[in-house]
Amino acid sequence: MTTTPEPLHWSKSSYSDNGGNCVEWSPSHASATGIVPVRDSKRPSGPVLMVSTDAFAGLISLARAAKL
């Protein structure tokens, strides 16, 4: 049996309105599957990086620690 995946509902980074390099992620997909889809907010039809919730948490920690 094949099921059609639900469309992803994307949330933008809080920095997306600042004109910088920003990302979007799908929290509802992450909650349901444990896999976090991440994409470039300026290329919504571009590739999607799929990472585990642990890997995503590591990326967030790294980004918060970076001097921007």
Q: What are 40's strand-pairing partners?
A: 23
- Mean pLDDT computed over 40-51: 92
In tens, the pLDDT along 20-44 reads: 678 899 999 999 999 999 999 888 8
- Return the pLDDT at 4: 45
d(CA 37, CA 18): 22
pTM of this structure: 0.76
Give 49 or 23, the one with higher predicted confidence: 49
Mean pLDDT along residues 36-55: 93
Where would I find the beta strands (DSSP E) of the chain?
A: 11-12, 23-25, 35-40, 49-52
- Higher-scoring residue by pLDDT: 7, 20: 7
